[in-house]
């Protein structure tokens, strides 16, 4: 029992025992303020219409699509860490998977909101779902948007189920340890009557692995689908088969960056240095470097393809990316996504919390810039010079973006306080195995 008790106490006490500290309240208030910004931006948007944004013809997609692609990308690392590493029996995931999954869920929620908010008539978003109606009209299944609706929704549901199923044993632990009546009731309902019998564990393991297998496929399909939104067009810079893998790499890359940021924060805030060790950070740093290099490969070959095609318009788009009106987004992305991660070749950098956190934040920003570059540079100069235009996001779009970060943080802050931050039983399991090996 000796090795398990501290883990259980340490994690479960965060939700059950610890008092709401000032810093938690501060975080809740700060993110809550941004949630208010989000609500205000949405109300303004619904009242006045998407005309309040800076979009136009030809750049008729703006920050909303940038944000969608960015958020759903972030949502990739959580599932990848959980599902892929679970299937590969990488036990180091156990300290990370719970909050990474939560991050996935919230990020995908953010991502799913923007395509609805950006509609000209958002109240009719459900026409994209195959709902029988008195109109007798169905969605148009050739549209990548329908693929996105399907993949987002399935990813959201699968991630939610995966997260929840994975949490059931821990919820039962919380139920059993809870002293207050409301906690016992709440966690009791959520634990779905988990008793930890051998039968429960066997069924649970089957279900958990099955879902993991499904979710892993979705990781690939979701961002490929998002990439098809661009690649299925005819536009130079978008219309390329490179886009789907490029998008998936980039997504996982940005996701790992945000996982690192959250890990560093959680570690410091709840004193979990012993569970979330520097070894974990080191591993995350390596993953960041790996996925970053894959993304860099994408940059390289995007440019190569454009040049190699010899196609006037492809080359012109490449030139616009590098030297056009929005070249800052391209070079910003290259600097933050490629240059900064070179630090991670050094073990000391990977194990240094400030360095790793800084690199991760820069990568998150850099990936956003890259999405901006893809959306705006792809649209502002297309085929006919007569229809070329320009785009600048006004405050209404930025407010929505900032608000979505706030909403994400708000949900995460609540999660950190009310649900088990780490997978207690899996940590214990790993500890037991370790002990078994050594002892």
Partner 1 sequence: MSATADGPSRRSFIKGAGAAMAASRLAACGDAPPQNVIPYAEQPEDMVPGRPRFYATAFPYAGFVQAVLAETHMGRPTKLEGNPDHPVSQGATDAFTQAAVTELYNPDRSRTILRAGAEVGWEDFADMAAGLAGPGLRILTGAVGSPTLFRQLQALGERGARWHLHEPWPAPFASVGGAVLRPRLDRAAVVVSLGDDLLGPGPAQVHNLRNWSVEGGGRRRLMVAEPSLTLTGAAAQSRLAVPERRLSVLAQAIAAELDGGNFPESAPAEAEWARWAAAALAANAGRSLLTAGSGLPSQVHRSVLAVNEALGNAGRTVLPTEPALAKAPDGARSFAMLVEDMAAGAVSALVVIGANPAYTSPAGIDFAAALARVPVTVHAGLYPDETAALCRWHLPLAHPLEDWSDGRAVDGTASIIQPVIPPVFRTYSAHAILAALLGEPAARPHDIVRDTWRAVWGEDAFAERWRRSLLAGFIAETAAGPARPRPGEEPSAPPPAGDGLEVVFLPDPSIGDGRFAAVPFLQELPKPLTKLTWDNVIGLSARLAARLGIENGDMIALSAQTGEVIGPAWVLPGQAEETVTLFLGYGRRQGAGEATGRGYDAYRLMPAGGESIGATIRKAEGRARLAVTQPWQTLAGRDDIIRTVAPGEALPREPERPSLYPEWPYPGPAWGMAIDLAACGGCNACVVACQIENSVPYVGPEQVAMGREMHWLRVDVYYGDRGAVHFQPIPCMHCEKAPCEMGCPVNATVHGPEGLNQMIYNRCIGTRTCSSYCPYKVRRFNFFDYAGAMPAAYSGYRNPDVTVRGRGVMEKCTYCTQRIAQARIEARKEDRPLRDGEVVTACQQVCPSRAIVFGDLADPDSAVSRARRGPRNYLLLGELGTRPRTSYLAKIEEG
Partner 2 sequence: MGAGRRVAAGVAAAAGIVAVALLAAMAGLEIPAPPPQPVPFSHAHHAGEVGIDCRYCHYFVERASSAGFPAMEVCASCHYPVPERPGAEPVVWRRLTKLPEFVYFDHSIHLGAGVGCATCHGAVERMARVRQPQPFTMLWCLDCHRDPTPYLRERADLFETDWRAPEDHAESGRRLMAERGIDPARLEHCYVCHR
Residues engaged in binding partner 2 (CB under 8 A):
133-137, 188-193
Residue 230 CA, distance from chain mean position: 20
Q: Which listed residue (1, 57, 88, 198) binds partner 1 by CB under 8 A?
A: 57
Choose from partner 1, partner 2, none: what does 193 bind? Cβ within 5-8 Å by kind: partner 2
HEC sequence for 356-418: HHHHHHHHHHHHHHHHHHHHHHHHHCCCCHHHCCCCCCCHHHHHHHHHHHHHHHHHHHHHHHH
Q: How far is the CB of 332 from partner 1 (least distance, A)?
A: 23
Residues 218-247 that bind partner 1 (CB under 8 A): 229, 232-235
Nearer to partner 1, 32 or 54 (CB): 54
Q: Which listed residue (388, 405, 429, 431) binds partner 1 by CB under 8 A?
A: 388
Choose from partner 1, partner 2, none: what does 232 bind? Cβ within 5-8 Å by kind: partner 1
Q: Which listed residue (179, 197, 312, 438) binds partner 1 by CB under 8 A?
A: 312
Q: Which listed residue (144, 298, 403, 420) binds partner 1 by CB under 8 A?
A: 144
- Select from 319, 16, 53 the least CA-distant residue to 177: 16
CA distance 413 to 391: 35
186 burial level (CB within 10 Å; 0-12, 13-18, 19+): middle
Nearer to partner 2, 99 or 194 (CB): 194
CA distance 203 to 210: 11
Q: 3-class DSSP state for residue 136?
A: coil
x-or-dash pattern for partner 1, window 118-137, by CB under 8 A?
xxxxx-xx-xx------x-x
Q: How far is the CB of 94 from partner 1 (least distance, A)?
A: 40
Nearer to partner 1, 6 or 389 (CB): 389
Nearer to partner 1, 137 or 198 (CB): 137
66 burial level (CB within 10 Å; 0-12, 13-18, 19+): buried
CA distance 350 to 94: 20
Q: How far is the CB of 171 from partner 1 (least distance, A)?
A: 38
CA distance 101 to 108: 10
Nearer to partner 1, 88 or 135 (CB): 135
Q: Does 54 bind partner 1 (CB under 8 A)?
A: yes
CA distance 418 to 437: 34
Whether residue 40 contacts residue 399, with contact meaning beta carbons closer than 8 Å, is answered with: yes
Q: How far is the CB of 157 from partner 2 (least distance, A)?
A: 15
The helix (H) or strand (E) run that includes residue 351 is: helix 347-351
Which parts of this chain interact with partner 1 (CB under 8 A)? 48-51, 54-61, 115, 118-122, 124-125, 127-128, 135, 137-140, 142-146, 149, 229, 232-235, 312-313, 316, 379, 382-390
């Amino acid at each position: 029992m000796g090795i398990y008790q501290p883990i259980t106490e340490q994690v479960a006490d965060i939700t059950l025992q610890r008092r709401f500290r000032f810093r938690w309240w501060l975080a809740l208030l700060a993110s809550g303020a941004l949630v208010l910004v989000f609500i205000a931006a949405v109300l303004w948007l619904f009242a006045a219409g998407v005309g309040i944004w800076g979009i136009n013809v030809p750049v008729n997609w703006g920050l909303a699509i940038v944000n969608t692609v960015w958020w759903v990308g972030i949502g990739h690392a959580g599932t990848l860490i959980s599902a892929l590493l679970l299937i590969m029996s990488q036990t180091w995931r156990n300290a990370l998977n719970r909050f990474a999954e939560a991050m996935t869920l919230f990020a995908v929620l953010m991502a799913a909101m923007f395509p609805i908010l950006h509609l000209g008539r958002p109240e009719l978003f459900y026409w994209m779902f195959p709902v029988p109606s008195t109109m007798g009209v169905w969605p148009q299944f050739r549209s990548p948007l329908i693929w996105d609706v399907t993949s987002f929704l399935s990813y959201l549901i699968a991630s939610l189920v995966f997260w929840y199923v994975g949490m059931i044993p821990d919820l039962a632990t919380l139920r059993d340890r809870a002293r207050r009546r409301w906690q016992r009731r709440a966690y009791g309902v959520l634990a779905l009557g988990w008793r930890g019998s051998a039968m429960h564990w066997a069924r649970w393991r089957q279900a958990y692995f099955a879902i993991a297998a499904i979710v892993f496929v979705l990781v690939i399909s979701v961002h490929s689908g998002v990439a098809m939104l661009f690649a299925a067009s005819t536009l130079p810079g978008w219309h390329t088969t490179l886009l789907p893998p490029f998008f998936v790499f980039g997504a996982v890359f940005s996701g790992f960056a945000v996982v690192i940021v959250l890990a560093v924060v959680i570690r410091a805030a709840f004193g979990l240095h012993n569970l979330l060790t520097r070894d974990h950070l080191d591993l995350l740093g390596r993953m960041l470097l790996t996925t970053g290099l894959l993304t860099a490969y994408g940059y390289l070959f995007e440019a190569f393809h454009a040049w190699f095609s010899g196609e006037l318009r492809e080359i012109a788009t490449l030139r616009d990316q590098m030297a056009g009106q929005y070249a800052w987004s391209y070079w910003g992305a290259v600097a933050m996504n490629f240059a900064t991660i070179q630090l991670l070749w050094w073990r000391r950098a990977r194990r240094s919390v400030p360095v790793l956190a800084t690199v991760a934040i820069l990568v998150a920003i850099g990936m956003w810039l890259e999405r901006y570059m893809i959306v705006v540079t792809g649209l502002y100069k297309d085929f006919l010079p007569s229809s070329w235009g320009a785009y600048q996001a006004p405050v209404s779009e930025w407010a929505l973006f900032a608000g979505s970060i706030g909403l994400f943080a708000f949900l995460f802050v609540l999660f950190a306080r009310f649900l088990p931050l780490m997978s207690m039983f899996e940590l214990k399991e790993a500890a037991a195995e370790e002990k078994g090996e050594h002892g």
